[in-house]
Amino acid sequence: MTASRTGSVLEQEPGSRYPAGLVAVSVAASGWALLYALYRGYYGLGGTIGMIGTPASPAEFRALNLAGAVVLLALAVLPTAMLPGWRRAGLRRVLLAVCWVLAVGLVMHALVQDIQRVLSLAGALRVYYPPSVWVSVNRHLADVQDLAFNETWFLAEGVLWGVIGWIGLRGSPARRWWAGTALAAIAVMTLVGMLTVEGVIGRTVIF
Half-sphere exposure of 192 (CA within 13 A, CB side): 9
Residue 12 lies in a domain: no
Q: Give how many domains the chain has, as a whole number.
A: 1
Residue 169 lies in a domain: yes
Report helix, strand or coil for 190.
helix
pLDDT by residue for the chain (207 residues), tens only, comes to 344 444 444 455 444 577 789 999 999 999 999 999 999 999 999 999 999 999 999 999 999 999 999 999 999 999 999 999 998 888 999 999 999 999 999 999 999 999 999 999 999 988 889 999 999 999 999 999 999 999 999 999 999 999 999 999 987 889 999 999 999 999 999 998 888 876 666 654 443
Residue 4 lies in a domain: no
- CA nearest 58: which of 47, 68, 49? 47
Reported as a single tens digit per residue, the pLDDT across 124-153 is 988 889 999 999 999 999 999 999 999 999
Residue 22 lies in a domain: yes
What phi-psi label fits residue 204: left (phi over 0), alpha (psi between -120 and 50 degrees) or beta?
A: beta
Question: Residue 186's domain spans which residues?
Answer: 17-197
Share of the chain above pLDDT 70, in %: 87
Listed in sequence order, the residues at least 6 apart from 139 whose beta carbon sits closer than 8 Å to its beta carbon are 120, 127
> pTM for the full model?
0.85
